[in-house]
């Protein structure tokens, strides 16, 4: 099965900062990666799909890039509402493994 | 607006069984594939199982294979997860998720239902 390794596990940042989260796949998965945001006690929300496509309604400060085995999620200017946990997920195969998550905190 | 609502979560003893349901509404249920995703307390997301729109094709994580069964009733707009031989490590919030026809990702999630496996 394809494994997703996400880093860092925790990230301390301030409002206005540029933030980058990385995800590495255990084998090439083309651009079949999605990124989700989760707030405490809530279900995750889709932000990015196919590595770089922004889900409808998601602010443009979120962007994704990468292909093959290396992927990144970037928040260009961190806003107060962005302090959350972020997960990458591969969907190259039926076993849609998630990364371990990155908590973005103040 | 699409609605997904899980139910059936409970406290169960190790070795016991539980059946989760996910009631869907406001879209054509039989058009979509679904997945179950779980999250142990304070931990990350774990993909559990998937089913295609017809119900003929099902997939499982190694951690639940042989113990859990995913199924659906398209006439009742309901997704199920039958969980047998439950273990303490199955304790988690279980989410029902819909697979988008456009992006192939999980576009809608239910609020989740808590399963606690403990004696």
pLDDT tens column, A9-49: 999 999 999 999 999 999 999 999 999 999 999 999 999 99
Between the alpha carbon of residue B11 and those of residues A70, B81, B98, the distances in Å are 40, 16, 26
Tell me whether B27 touches chain A (CB under 8 Å). Answer: no
CA nearest to B65 within chain A: A95
- What's the CA gap between A8 and A10, in Å, rounded? 5
Tell me whether B109 touches chain A (CB under 8 Å). Answer: yes
Question: What is the predicted pLDDT for the residue at A92?
Answer: 87
pLDDT in tens, A74-85: 999 999 999 999
Partner-chain contact A53 B103, CB within 8 Å: yes
pLDDT in tens, chain B (119 residues): 999 999 999 999 999 999 999 999 999 999 999 999 999 999 999 999 999 999 999 999 999 999 999 999 999 999 999 999 999 999 999 999 999 998 899 999 999 999 999 99
Partner-chain contact B112 A43, CB within 8 Å: yes
| Nearest CA among B31, B33, B78 for reference residue B58 | B33
- What's the CA gap between B87 and B93, in Å, rounded? 14
Whether pLDDT at A94 is above 90? no
Question: What is the predicted pLDDT for the residue at A93?
Answer: 81
Q: Which of B5, B106, B112, B113 to mutate to test the interface with A (most CBs of A within 10 A)?
A: B106
Tell me whether A96 touches chain B (CB under 8 Å). Answer: yes
Partner-chain contact B103 A36, CB within 8 Å: no
Q: Which of A43, A53, A94 sits opposite B111 (nearest CB)?
A: A43
More confident of the two residues A97 and A95:
A97
Neighbour count for residue A79 (Cβ, 10 Å): 12
Strands B11-12, B113-117: parallel, antiparallel or unpaired by DSSP? parallel
DSSP A81: G
Chain A hits for B35, CB-CB cut-off 8 Å, are 96
Helices within A37-88 (DSSP H only): none
């Amino acid at each position: 099965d394809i494994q997703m390794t996400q880093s860092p596990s925790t990230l301390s940042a301030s409002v206005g900062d540029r933030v980058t989260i990385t995800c590495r796949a255990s084998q090439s998965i083309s651009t079949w990666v999605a990124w989700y945001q989760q707030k405490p006690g809530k279900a995750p929300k889709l932000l990015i799909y196919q590595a770089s496509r922004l889900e409808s309604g998601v602010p443009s400060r979120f962007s994704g890039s990468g292909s093959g085995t290396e992927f990144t999620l970037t928040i260009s200017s961190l806003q107060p509402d962005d302090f959350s946990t972020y997960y990458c997920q591969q969907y190259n195969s039926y076993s849609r493994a998630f990364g371990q998550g990155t908590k973005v905190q103040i | 607006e699409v609605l997904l609502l899980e139910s059936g979560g409970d406290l169960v003893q190790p070795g016991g069984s539980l059946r989760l349901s996910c009631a869907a509404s406001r879209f054509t249920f039989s058009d979509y594939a679904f997945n179950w995703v779980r999250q142990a307390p304070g931990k990350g997301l774990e993909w559990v199982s998937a089913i295609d729109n017809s119900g003929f094709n099902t997939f499982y994580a190694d951690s639940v294979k042989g113990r859990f069964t995913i199924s659906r009733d398209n006439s009742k707009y309901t997704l199920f997860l039958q969980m047998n031989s439950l273990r303490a490590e199955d304790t988690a919030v279980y989410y029902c998720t819909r697979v988008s026809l456009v992006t192939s990702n999980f576009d809608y999630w239910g609020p989740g239902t808590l399963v606690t496996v403990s004696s």
